[in-house]
Chains A and B, each alone.
Chain A
Amino acid sequence: MKNFFKDIIRQLDIIGQCGKYNVPLRQCPQFLFLIMGIITVAAMLAVYFIGLYYNGDPEKIALVVIALATAMMVLSFIIVHSFEQLAETSRLKTEFISIVSHQIRSPLTNLKWIVEILTSGILGKTENKQSEYFKILKENLERMQKLVSELLTVSRIEATKLILKKENFSMENLARDLVSEFAPISKSSHVEIKVITEGKVPKVCGDPFQVLQVVENLVYNAIRYIGFATDNADNAANAKHGEVEIRLYGKGKYVYCQVKDNGIGIPKEDQKYIFQKFFRAENVRRYQTSGSGLGLYIAKNIVERSGGKIGFLSREGEGTTFWFRLPAASNHKDKTANKIQKINPKFNDKQNQNIKS
Chain B
Amino acid sequence: MKNILFIEDEAVMQKAVSEFLGVHGYNVISALDGDLGINAAKSQKPDLILLDIILPKKDGFDVLKELKEDEATKSIPIIVLTNLSQMNDVSKMMEMGVTTYLVKSDQSLRDILAIVQKTLEEG
A355 touches B106 (CB 8 A): no
Is B101 among interface residues, defined by CB-CB distance under 8 A? yes
Residue in B94, B103, B108, B118 whose beta carbon sits within 8 Å of that of A357 in the complex: B103
Q: Which residues of A contact B19 (CB under 8 A)?
A: 117, 122
A356 touches B10 (CB 8 A): no
- Across the interface, do A105 and B107 meet the contact criterion of CB distance under 8 Å? no
Say whether A108 faces chain B, with CB atoms less than 8 Å apart. yes
With a cutoff of 8 Å between Cβ atoms, the chain B residues found around residue A149 in the complex are 105
A355 touches B94 (CB 8 A): yes
> Within 8 Å CB of B43, what residues of A?
none
With known contacts A117-B109, A357-B106, A109–B100 Cβ distance under 8 A: no
The reply to whether B83 and A102 contact each other, CB–CB distance below 8 Å, is yes
Q: CB of A354 within 8 A of chain B?
A: yes
Task: List the A side residues contacting B104 at CB < 8 Å.
Answer: 105-106, 109
Task: Name which residue of chain B comes closest to A107, CB basis.
Answer: B12
* CB of B115 closer than 8 Å to a CB of A: yes
Q: Which residues of B contact A342 (CB under 8 A)?
A: 94
From A106, A116, A148, A355, B110 is in contact (CB under 8 Å) with A116
| A161 and B86 contact, Cβ closer than 8 Å, known pairs A109-B104, A116-B108, A145-B105 | yes
Residues of A with C-beta under 8 A to B10:
106, 110
A343 interfacial contact with B, CB 8 Å: yes
Decide if B87 is an interface residue (CB 8 Å cutoff).
yes
Task: Give Cα A122 to B19, complex, Å.
Answer: 9
Q: Does more than half of chain B's interface fall in helix, strand or loop, or is it mixed? A: helix
Number of residues from B at the complex interface, CB < 8 A:
31
Residue B117 lies at the interface, judged by CB distance under 8 Å to chain A: no
B85 touches A357 (CB 8 A): yes
Is the interface on chain A under 10, 10 to 19, 20 to 34, or 35 or more residues? 20 to 34
B66 interface contact, C-beta 8 A = no
Does B99 interact with chain A (Cβ within 8 Å)? yes
CB <8 Å contact, B23 and A122: yes
Chain B residues closer than 8 Å to A96, beta-carbon distance: none
Q: Name the A residues within 8 Å of B17 (CB-CB).
A: 113
CA distance A120 to B110 in the complex (A): 10
Which residue on chain B has the smallest CB distance to residue A113? B16
Q: Known interface pairs A122-B20, A356-B100, A356-B106. Does A165 touch B87 (Cβ–Cβ under 8 Å)?
A: yes
How far is the CB of B98 from the nearest CB of chain A, in Å? 8
**B108 pairs with A355, CB closer than 8 A:** no
Tell me if A108 and B16 are in contact (CB < 8 A): no
Q: In the complex, which residues of chain A have a beta carbon less than 8 angstroms from the beta carbon of B111?
A: 356
CA distance A339 to B91 in the complex (A): 9
Q: A305-320: which residues lie under 8 A (CB-CB) from chain B?
A: none
B94 to chain A, nearest CB (A): 7
Residues of B near A354 (CB, < 8 A) are 94, 99-101
Nearest neighbor of A152 in chain B, beta-carbon distance? B85
CA distance A343 to B102 in the complex (A): 10
**B90 lies within 8 A of chain A by Cβ:** yes
* Cβ of A114 under 8 Å from chain B: yes
Closest A residue, CB atoms, query B108 = A116
Q: Choose one: A113, A116, A163, A355; the contact of B101 (CB below 8 Å).
A: A355
Per-position binary interface string of chain B over residues 59-70, scored 1 when its CB falls under 8 Å from any chain A CB and 0 otherwise: 000000000000
Complex Cα distance A339/B95, Å?
Answer: 11
* Complex contact B101–A105 (CB within 8 A): no
Q: Are B83 and A357 in contact (CB under 8 A)?
A: no
A-B contact pairs, 10 of them (CB 8 A): A106-B13, A109-B83, A109-B104, A110-B12, A116-B20, A117-B16, A122-B19, A156-B86, A354-B99, A355-B100
Seen from chain B, the residues whose Cβ lies within 8 Å of a Cβ on chain A are: 10, 12-13, 16-17, 19-20, 23, 83-88, 90, 94, 99-111, 115, 118
